[in-house]
Amino acid sequence: MTAPPAAPTDRPRLGVGMVGYAFMGVAHAQAWRNAPRFFDLPLAVDMAVVAGRNEAAVRAAAATQGWRDVETDWKALVGRDDVDLVDVCTPGDTHAEIAIAALEAGKHVLCEKPLANSVAEAEAMAAAAALAPGVAMVGFTYRRVPAIQLARSLVADGRLGTVRHVRAQYLQDWIADPAAPLSWRLDKQKAGSGALGDIGAHIVDLAQFITGEQVTGVSAVLETFVRERPVADSSSGLSASSSSGRTGPVTVDDAAIFLGRMSGGGLATFEATRFAYGRKNAIRLEINGSAGSLAFDFEDMNVLHYFDAAEPAATAGFRRIVVTEPEHPFVGAWWPAGHGLGYEHAFTHQVVDLVGGIATGAAPTPTFADGLQVQRVLDAVERSAGADSVWTPTKEM
């Protein structure tokens, strides 16, 4: 035991078991801790157990993150009677096995994105979720940034009219330096793909979530700029260090750029890269419709820009909406108006909606079926950029 049992409460208990405890595990754990402190949840969250293979490390993580107990085998965690929900925070190569076992054991599941490393795995997960009694949700967490929710409601209310363009970028720079060591995110076996699945998946999901449409076809290019990197001897979160002098291959894409057709007739451009020096976690979305436009940048995540084409031309302009009022989704539960939220809050909002969905029996989105649909887009990107991809050479002048 690493922490005392949860305090008794008259609400039904929801025992949570989390598999994995690194970067995403830390983010999820703070959400499980904070959701009941700031929101009136219908179930009493009990952070029962965390699993990881290294006993000393998982014990240390349990102590800092607030888990009551530890397991060194995820199968033992899935088999426990005090676990009602399994939170999968491991690399993609283990998502399918853990999530399917948990669903078959009658547990609810929250699984980190992308749902799987292949369409076949994602199909098996969605099929298991359809048959299982439990709720299954995929962690496209940015959906629960208040400004993103506002963007979606503006589109749904017709304030943009028909969507003509989606311009979506996810820009990071944490491996722009060729000396940055290898990590599991650069290993195709573990991660499935590189920038495409890690961050491209988010912008595909966000484009679809905000517009209420789907990406129906793509034309893509993938590139790996640095094909060999130092082998890491230690890593934590996104940072790793290397001192051995050994190198190993990068087996995933560093950047993914693709065009997409939206189901409503609009055109989309997507750019996902970890080589955009100076851009740290820049999720940039701009949507142009027949009645207006909106724009968002996660590096200024409490702000949404909206342009209303019905306004008189002389004074029309992008309106900067600061999304920090109690009227905005989720915001009222936090700080007094105007004080703003950060990266971690969306994880807490994700828990709030998940727990609410479990209590009411309504499947909280994004479901595994939604995760499978994004996986199909990622797969189409890889096929489009693959061996048969056609380039039109530039003519000599």
Name the site residues for ligand SOE (rule: CB under 6 A). 23, 172, 198-199, 238, 281
- Residue 174: both structure tokens together: 């944490």
Angle at 287 between CA 284 and CA 292, to 5 degrees: 135
Distance of CA 140 to the CA centre of its chain: 3
Question: Rounded CA gap, 380 and 204, in Å?
Answer: 12
Give 221 or 238: the residue with its C-beta nearer to ligand SOE: 238
Question: Rounded CA gap, 369 and 339, in Å?
Answer: 36
Q: What's the burial of 126, exposed, middle or buried (CB within 10 Å: 0-12/13-18/19+)?
A: buried
Question: Rounded CA gap, 4 and 129, in Å?
Answer: 33
Min separation Cβ 198 and ligand SOE, Å: 5
Min separation Cβ 378 and ligand SOE, Å: 14
Tell me the three state secondary structure of residue 60.
helix
- Residue 51: both structure tokens together: 């699993």
Buried b / exposed e across 321-345, counting CB within 10 Å, b at 16+?
Answer: bebbeeebbbbebbeeeeebbeeeb
Min separation Cβ 81 and ligand SOE, Å: 32
Give 100 or 199: the residue with its C-beta nearer to ligand SOE: 199
Give 2 or 208: the residue with its C-beta nearer to ligand SOE: 208
Closest residue to ligand SOE, Cβ-based?
198
Give 71 or 198: the residue with its C-beta nearer to ligand SOE: 198
Give 175 or 321: the residue with its C-beta nearer to ligand SOE: 175
Give 34 or 183: the residue with its C-beta nearer to ligand SOE: 183
Q: Which residues make beta-bridge pairs with 110? A: 87, 137
Min separation Cβ 281 and ligand SOE, Å: 6
